[in-house]
Amino acid sequence: MLIYHSNKMKEYLFLFILFTNIILLGALEVNPQTFKALLSTAESGSILELTSGTYKDAPYKLSNSGKVGNPITIKLKSQDNVKFESSNEGCIFELDRKSYINIEGEMELSNAECGIKVVDSNNIIITGLKLHDMKKEAIIASGENIEILNNEIYNCVLDSKDNRQSIIYGTNQCTKTLGINQNSEFSKNITFKNNNIYNGYGEGIKFSYCDGCSAISNTIKNTLSINVYLYSSKDTLIQGNIIKVTNNDYNSKFGKAIGIGLSTDSTYDIENVEIQNNLIIGCRIGIYYFITGTGSYKAVNIYHNTLWKIDITPIWFTEPIKTPSTSKLYNNFIYHNKQSHLLPKSNWEKGYNIFYNTDKVPPQYEDSNSDSGTSNGIGKMSINEIFNNLDGKCDYNNNMDLNISCFRPNSNDKTIYHTGKKINEDEKDIEGCSRENKPSIGAFESPEGCEVEPIIDNDVAFKIHYITGSGEVVQLIGTLCNWNETGKCITLEKNSDNYWKTVLKSGTTKFFEYKFAIFNGSKVTRWENNHNRNFNGQELAKMAEKETTGTYGNCNYIKSGNIITLTCSWQE
């Protein structure tokens, strides 16, 4: 064997090692063929930018962890179209005992057994993804300081699609936490925020053995059998969520879900839970504590929720086996179905709750341990007078998928508007509006909403489908460039599906008028045949903060991570 010791060879070797480390510590483009190998060698500070393609070589695992200030980041490169699919067992991404890992961007994970599994890891961020058509869970997490933000999740737990028993008993979940080391100790500080979770044959979000975990500002719609489920956990915040069960074939087949459920095993109690500013619509039971072990609940505080058209029981707390510490129920608007309210009379403070669709306050709410002069009441006016009704646009009788603004209070009626009790300083409602000293009852404070500062900082992608001819490109032309028709406005980039797209950074997304146009050579050859389109970045950001999908200015929008995508149709 020949061994070379030349100084030149040593110099080449040094440069090779240095160059390799620079690549791994900086941004590196990857594709479906190179991603798995480079993932295994990524180190602290590495940024792997995914380029267009379908990635099918799951499971994808990291060998190393990031460090404070230098995470390993997996992200989308620019506007590339990235999909992950897998016919293998297990999850597409599996992070086992890793730290400081970010997975972010508009990448799509689908058609797999499971999306992402985070096991006993810490300081993990999963944001802006689309996960759908999973046989089991979309996201599983255990560990500490894990953030699951701004994701769209649907068609999960498909293995249970035709298994009624599995759905009823909650065998699987769309997203869930587990305890560390196979539930021998609690996970800590896991946050689900601004996610859109819908059409799942398992529970929407389940916290199991979790300390200091939270579900904030999520939209959860048509998941079974519990939308948000808290199991043997403590110090939990469930705040500002929109929970809907709509009248469709999906829920007719399997029975409507519970809005928020709480239960315990035989070892741990439910402790210190804040359930506030949630909008719960059309569920079988609104908020439900049920006994599955010998545990109990302690200090469950239910404030400022709006429960609308609950089928069986709006609030149902089974009598605990052990004597609970005091819990509180204040400032809730409750649609009373005249069937049942099940709430233990002892160890509850109750006051300033308004019941609608009844002629008297249910007996369980008459005995209050709260301060003198508090009272629960009934809504005597029509619902069109109690709520804002948006100039008659809200069909409260037949539509279970109402715009959430329909539940803002009417300032001309004093049933719920500024008739509640101040609970905490610096309180905010479901829309981020500050509560008054005498706040409104229910999830909403103001008839008009409010300006929430700071304004949400979003990039906006404009996307349109158009089959162009030779030499043609699509441009966005408008007041941003003084309607310049000489090619100096915004040219969109084309992908393989004949979609054209451009992204405007947050600093430019103010108000402007625009049209799409076809540009060839040095001139516009075709304009959209319609009135000018109007765009207001702040207005769109507010809409997307409340509902992550919807319609804006004749375009469909979807919010994913820090980007809002507007998909428009060419106007003939």
Using one digit for the tens of pLDDT, what is the confidence trace for 378-421?
777 788 889 988 778 888 888 888 888 899 999 998 899 999 99
The closest of 561, 551, 565 to 457, measured between CA atoms, is 561
pLDDT at 505 over 90: no
pLDDT at 428 over 50: yes
Q: Which residue has the tokens 């032309």?
A: 477
Task: Tell me what pLDDT residue 537 has.
Answer: 81
Task: Tell me what pLDDT residue 11 has.
Answer: 46
Provide φ and ψ at 164, rounded to 5°. -60, -40
Question: Are residues 283 and 316 in contact, defined by beta-carbon separation less than 8 angstroms?
Answer: no
pTM here is 0.76
Phi/psi-derived region of residue 158, left when phi > 0, alpha when psi is between -120 and 50, beta in every other case: alpha
**E strand map for 56-184:** 60-61, 72-76, 82-85, 91-96, 99-104, 108-112, 114-127, 130-134, 139-149, 152-154, 173-177
DSSP 501: E
- At residue 248 the predicted structure's pLDDT band, cuts being 50, 70 and 90, is low
Question: Are residues 276 and 429 in contact, defined by beta-carbon separation less than 8 angstroms?
Answer: no
pLDDT at 430 over 80: yes
Question: Are residues 83 and 106 in contact, defined by beta-carbon separation less than 8 angstroms?
Answer: no
Planar angle of CA 434, 436, 441, nearest 5 degrees? 95
Planar angle of CA 466, 470, 475, nearest 5 degrees? 45
DSSP 113: S
- For the record, the structure tokens of 486 come out as 């000489």
How far separated are the first and last CA of the chain, in Å rounded? 75
**What would the pLDDT profile of 299-319 be if each residue is shown by its tens digit?**
999 999 999 988 888 888 877
**Cα distances (angstroms) measured from residue 444 to each of 131, 411, 426, 433:** 31, 12, 15, 8
Task: Tell me what pLDDT residue 539 has.
Answer: 79
Specify the amino acid at residue 324: P
Question: Are residues 91 and 116 in contact, defined by beta-carbon separation less than 8 angstroms?
Answer: yes
For 18, the enclosing helix (H) or strand (E) is: helix 7-25
**What would the pLDDT profile of 182-221 be if each residue is shown by its tens digit?**
888 999 999 999 999 999 888 999 999 999 999 999 999 9
For 424, the 3-state DSSP assignment is: coil
pLDDT at 281 over 80: yes
Provide φ and ψ at 42, rounded to 5°. -60, 140
Burial label for 33, CB within 10 Å (0-12, 13-18, 19+), is exposed
**Do strands 555-560 and 563-568 pair parallel, antiparallel, or not at all (unpaired)?**
antiparallel
- For the record, the structure tokens of 97 come out as 């005992």
- For the record, the structure tokens of 8 come out as 């030149």
Task: Tell me what pLDDT residue 16 has.
Answer: 44
Most confident segment among 253-262, 416-425, 540-549? 416-425
- Determine the number of helices (DSSP H) and then strands (DSSP E) in the chain: 7, 46
For 149, the 3-state DSSP assignment is: strand
**E strand map for 194-341:** 196-200, 203-208, 210-211, 214-216, 219-223, 226-231, 234-239, 242-244, 258-263, 270-276, 279-281, 285-289, 297-303, 306-308, 313-317, 327-330, 333-335
Q: Say which residue, 210 or 295, is predicted with more confidence.
A: 210
The closest of 121, 79, 127 to 103, measured between CA atoms, is 127
**What would the pLDDT profile of 12-38 be if each residue is shown by its tens digit?**
443 343 344 434 445 799 999 999 999
Summarize the confidence of residues 533-548 as an average pLDDT. Answer: 83
Phi/psi-derived region of residue 475, left when phi > 0, alpha when psi is between -120 and 50, beta in every other case: beta
The set of residues, in sequence order, having a beta carbon less than 8 Å from that of 491 and lying 6+ positions away, is 473, 474, 475, 502, 519
Task: Tell me what pLDDT residue 192 has.
Answer: 97
pLDDT at 10 over 50: no
> Which letter, b or e, does each residue of 528-565 get, where b requires 16 or more Cβ atoms within 10 Å of its Cβ?
beeeebebebeebbbbbbbbbeeebeebebbbbbbbbb
Question: Are residues 121 and 146 in contact, defined by beta-carbon separation less than 8 angstroms?
Answer: yes
Q: Which residue has the tokens 């500050």?
A: 434
Q: Quote the percentage of the chain above a pLDDT of 70.
A: 84
How many Cβ atoms from other residues are within 10 Å of residue 32's Cβ? 17
How many Cβ atoms from other residues are within 10 Å of residue 162's Cβ? 11
How many Cβ atoms from other residues are within 10 Å of residue 392's Cβ? 7
**What would the pLDDT profile of 98-148 be if each residue is shown by its tens digit?**
999 999 988 999 999 999 999 999 999 999 999 999 999 999 999 999 999
Task: Tell me what pLDDT residue 538 has.
Answer: 76
pLDDT at 149 over 90: yes
Q: How does the average pLDDT of the chain come out, rounded?
A: 84
Task: Tell me what pLDDT residue 495 has.
Answer: 84
